[in-house]
Amino acid sequence: MSLSALLPILALLSSLLAAVVIFALPESSHRLRTLVNLLAALLKLGVVAVMTWGVFRGVDFSVSFTMLPGVSFMLRADALAMLFAGLSAVLWLFTTIYAVGYLEDSPNRSRFFGFFSLCVASTMGVALAGNLFTFFLFYEMLTLSTYPLVVHRGTDKSLQAGRNYIIYTLGGGVALLLGIAWLHGLAGDLPFQETGHFQGADPALHGQLTLIFVLLIAGLGVKAGLFPLHGWLPQAMVAPAPVSALLHAVAVVKAGAFGIVRVVYDIYGIDFAYALGLLEPLAWLAAFTIIYGSVRALWQTDLKRRLAFSTISQVSYIILGVTLFGPLGAVGGLVHLLHQGIMKITLFFCAGNYAETLGVHRVDELDGAGARMPATSVAFTLAALGMIGVPPLAGFVTKWALGAGALAAEMEWAILVLLVSSLLNAAYFLPIVYRLWFCPIAAPWPAERRWGRLETHAWLFWPPLVTTLMLVLVGLLAATFVSPLSWAQLIAVRMYLP
């Protein structure tokens, strides 16, 4: 087997095998498990880095075999795949480190890390899937492997959240399956390709294709938290912080958004989708979700719940970018896939740190936390400002690209949406930042713990700082060729100018 076929499999297997090994390890061998986790994460990072470099130089990594009559299992690394794979590989490493620290001394770690690795393997599969069928395969695997993580705590509330999560996502899966099967019946196996498959399709099929598009978007929209399919997301925040980070930043919502990107660009083809009139309703839906999520976030008193509604809003930026007909909008949407991940994971890491170190879960308990935990609070502040879109942080680059895309597509109203959303973001993030830095400590922390010299456990301390550095650098160095922005431009160029 050639190297080009081996690498995608290796990227997938690195975490899949880690999962198997972890499940097999006894509960008590913590060190070994941590070692396996970290080695797998580093290995995957290395493989993804090599593949990214290869894709940049134009190497084609792909492997496929026939799974069912007429259907093949296909892994393929194109530029878009590497965008998502890179995100999950990088953030997985930090989330793993964070999770090891977060779950220290808690029960069921074997189960947790096993499913954690499975979850990342599924995400990698979603990223590298070469056709719609393979995508669906990993998409559903992702649903299943995250369920045990959501209900990890085993409380009534988390089980309730898990139940809703499953109802929503499996329901979405049904719609997606129907759409994919139907599409397969019409057009056969559909590998992702840069200009889509339906350019110049028979006009008689347009009705069916529209219906299928709705089904696919409904199925993917559940995970992407598209209104009105977002109900599971705020509830799922009862999961432990690393899980929320994974759910919101790396895996689940991103898989949904990524799927929408794939369907619009690589299955239908942007020109055809535009010609069919599918983009504009989707753009409106995304715009509404952006505003809706932000408005709902305003009233949340639970920190993680507020972040969850913020996710609903922010992920729709990606979808909005996709629907802005033109390469600039695409760049905005795609780059936000990464930027939102980095920013949101930072926010969830910080929220987790407050909860673990101070026992603080609610926004109004955060008064004065900046003095007690300055590093974490700096990270939180920068990530929040990034979300608002303050330059030069990551969120600004997105906003600028999206705005430029909206203008290029002559959809000026989208700028208004962006601005209103920024204001709303400010309205729910800045009060938190204010409390962190400018309010005196009102009451003793609900449950304070201390770990030596650092403000919190070392494994919890560093990940948010590193991701904060990343969210500053991706904004500052946006014009360099290593930045997510450049990569998104590469994708857009390949997509629009094949």
Residue 473 Cβ vs another protein, minimum distance, rounded to whole Å: 11
Count of residues near another protein by CB under 8 A: 74
Q: Does residue 415 touch another protein according to CB under 8 A? A: yes
Site for another protein contains 191 (CB under 8 A): no
User: At closest approach, how far in Å is the CB of 159 from another protein?
Assistant: 5
23 counts as binding another protein under rule CB under 8 A: yes
Considering only 3, 28, 53, 66, the residue that binds another protein (CB under 8 A) is 66
Phi-psi region of 170 (alpha: psi -120 to 50; beta: other; left: phi over 0): alpha
Interface with another protein (CB under 8 A), residue from 67, 211, 298, 442? 67
Name which of 217 and 249 has its Cβ closer to another protein. Answer: 217
Q: Per rule CB under 8 A, is residue 108 in the interface with another protein?
A: yes
CB of 284 to another protein, least distance (A): 20
Binding flag, residue 5, another protein (CB under 8 A): no
CA distances from 246 to 123, 239, 344, 395 (A): 10, 10, 10, 19
The answer to whether 168 touches 222, Cβ cutoff 8 Å, is: yes
Q: How far is the CB of 233 from another protein (least distance, A)?
A: 19
Q: Figure out which of the listed residues 110, 314, 316, 340 binds another protein, where binding follows CB under 8 A.
A: 110
Q: Which of the residues 252 through 311 are near another protein (CB under 8 A)? A: none
Residue 20 in 3-state DSSP? helix
Region binding another protein by CB under 8 A among candidate stretches 134-142, 247-255, 307-315, 336-344: 134-142
Which of 39-47, 63-71, 221-229, 445-453 is the region at the interface with another protein (rule: CB under 8 A)? 63-71
Element of type H or E holding 224: helix 206-224
Residue type, 283: A
Q: How far is the CB of 407 from another protein (least distance, A)?
A: 4
DSSP 448: -
Q: Are 140 and 113 in contact (CB under 8 A)?
A: no
Q: Are the beta carbons of 235 and 161 closer than 8 angstroms?
A: yes
CA distances from 43 to 12, 47, 220 (A): 11, 6, 30
Segment lying near another protein (by CB under 8 A), choices 48-56, 59-67, 264-272, 305-313? 59-67
419 binds another protein, rule: CB under 8 A: yes
Tell me if 375 sits within 8 A of 458, measured CB to CB: no
Shortest separation between residue 488's beta carbon and another protein, angstroms? 13
CB of residue 150 to another protein, shortest distance in Å: 10
CA angle, corner 275, sides to 271 and 276, nearest 5? 120
Please compute Rg for the chain using Cα positions: 21
With CB under 8 A as the contact rule, the residue among 8, 86, 101, 148 that binds another protein is 148
DSSP 447: T
Least spacing, CB of residue 327 vs another protein, in Å: 14
Contact call for residues 453 and 350 (beta carbons, < 8 A): no
